[in-house]
Amino acid sequence: MIQGDTQTGYILALQFGLLPENLRAPAAQRLADNVAQHGHVTGGFVGNGLICPTLTQIHHSDLAWNLVLTNTYPSWLFSVKNGATTIWERWDGWTPERGFQDSSMNSFNHYSLGSIGVWLYSGAAGIQPDDASPGYKHFFLAPQFTTRLAHLKATFDSPYGTIASGWRVEKDQILYDVTVPPNSSATLRLPFPLAQIKELAHSQPDRVTAEELVAGAYHFSIPRRLIESTAQ
């Protein structure tokens, strides 16, 4: 157990390599258990931007989705449920029980907790830079699918053009659409064997495998059961 036994303590230890290798798995499990037990984020500015990326890295994207979709206090959607159209500085900037917090530290247009937006692009939609290939000349696609949403789509304007990654649930399939801009390439990473998905169409049929994508538009059909079976 890390001193304090907090979500942020485990997040920082895992993200910044502060643990010996033999303690990483127990720390990851402790973090997952903590999130599952509380059902909420329990940290502030330092931990919130890293909690969903960390859960994804330790193969608990189901818990990341739980945090994103929770609408009870404290959560991102709690503020939305209570009329927010901007990001609050505090989880409890306003609550039904106490009303407004002290105005000396209670911004209602504050980035801090908005760091979840990074995960929506890099986790939910899975658009991730390749540090060895600056400027998105090459990038990774590692979407974290869920059947709790009907559809999701993200676009990113890279130096080579628009990267698009989006998926939608249709009956027993998840349809995943990808656009790789000209003069760039991507590596597709999915949490199940790629041989189990069907490639419906693509623009370069003689130059692509499911793992390595050259420039073009791609359409994949993924059995819903694969998504549900990978949920922890």
Query: Residue 187: which H helix or E strand, with range?
Result: strand 173-188
CB–CB of 220/199 below 8 Å?
Answer: yes
pLDDT value at 94 more than 70: yes
**Distances in Å between the alpha carbon of 80 and those of 42, 84, 101, 212?**
18, 5, 17, 39
Q: For residue range 58-71, what is the model confidence (pLDDT) as tens digits?
A: 999 999 999 999 99
CB–CB of 136/122 below 8 Å?
Answer: no
In this predicted structure, what is the pLDDT of residue 203?
57
Residue 5 binned pLDDT confidence (cut-offs 50, 70, 90): very high
Q: Could you state, in order of their start, the residue ranges of all structural domains in the chain?
A: 7-116, 126-230
pLDDT value at 194 more than 80: no
In this predicted structure, what is the pLDDT of residue 226?
87
Give the residue with greater pLDDT, 202 vs 173. Answer: 173
In this predicted structure, what is the pLDDT of residue 192?
79
Long-range contacts of 73-82 (CB under 8 A, 24+ apart): 73/40, 74/40, 74/41, 74/42, 75/40, 75/41, 76/113, 76/116
- State the average pLDDT for the chain: 92
Main-chain phi, psi angles of 92, to 5 degrees:
-105, 35
CB–CB of 137/184 below 8 Å?
Answer: yes
In this predicted structure, what is the pLDDT of residue 155?
98
Which CATH architecture group holds 126-230? Sandwich (2.60)
Q: Cis peptide before 74, with omega less than 30 degrees from 0?
A: yes
Q: For residue range 198-220, what is the model confidence (pLDDT) as tens digits?
A: 777 665 555 556 689 999 999 99
